Amino acid sequence: MAMMPLLAPRPTSTAAPTDPVAADPVPAAAYDLARRGLLPRHLAVIMDGNGRWAQTRGLARNHGHRAGAEAVRRVTRMARKLGIEVLTLYAFSEQNWSRPASEVQGLLTLLVEFLRQELDELRTNDIRLVAVGNLARLPLPVRLTLQHAIDSTARGRSMTLALCLSYGGREDLVQAARTLASRVAAGELAASDITEGALGQALWTAQLPCAPDLVVRTSGEQRLSNFLLWESAYAELYFSPAAWPEFDEQQLTAALQAFSQRQRRFGGVAAP
């Protein structure tokens, strides 16, 4: 998974203003799902395919990460318009540290650019930014900039935008188990008190208000790749063939329509 700026800088234009309704890129079908209460409360996205998208065009991989910025912008704005409560983006995995140093540095540079340049727009749109993952592994300047953005958007109530940074589902489960084991060893917690709820509260994702209802992965791959393994136990999965830079409002609408047609039984029996 690869990080890119969430809301790319807007190009300046001298064109005459257009009708805001006519210019809205969100399909009417998506608004219809929202009116009918058929949207996920929590949408999570594995943003895959930036590097391959660039390579098929003879470009460096970091060009793909920058091209993916517009897709992040589209999805973030569309989720906000539709009233989706939580949008979680798999931005940088624990395994991504193994990529070439130049690519890792490019990804972290893009993150810092977003945090500095797009903070006002997040605040204007009443979006709360949170970060999930092994954040201590990020370089100090990145952590400081990230914390400033988190603190500055803490009052946002219209949507939570969660960035998974240096994140891995297995790694999260391990650190949670170690935390609980340490509390048991210290006499603060009995082993019998370790429940699903206790484990969930020890995870990095405990700050999110709910588990994902829909997990979307782009670029045709059909696996979770260590993303929200505990939290996605009952999530619906949707796999799009489009590379992340090509993922647009129409394709997100298709994912949302597919979700609206699923029967979510959570281990029970569907109502007759």
Catalytic residues: 48, 96
Q: Phi/psi of residue 193, each to 5°?
A: -90, 0
The two three-digit tokens of residue 21, written as one number: 């309704």
> Three-state SS across 178-198?
HHHHHHHHCCCCCHHHCCHHH
Which residues partner with 214 through β-bridges? 43, 236
Q: What is the CA radius of gyration of the chain?
A: 19
List, as one string, the DSSP characters of 75-105: HHHHHHHHT-SEEEEEEEEGGGGGS-HHHHH
Half-sphere exposure of 134 (CA within 13 A, CB side): 18
What is the rounded distance in angstroms from the CA atom of residue 62 to the CA atom of residue 106?
Answer: 7
The kind and range of the H/E element at 166 are strand 159-167
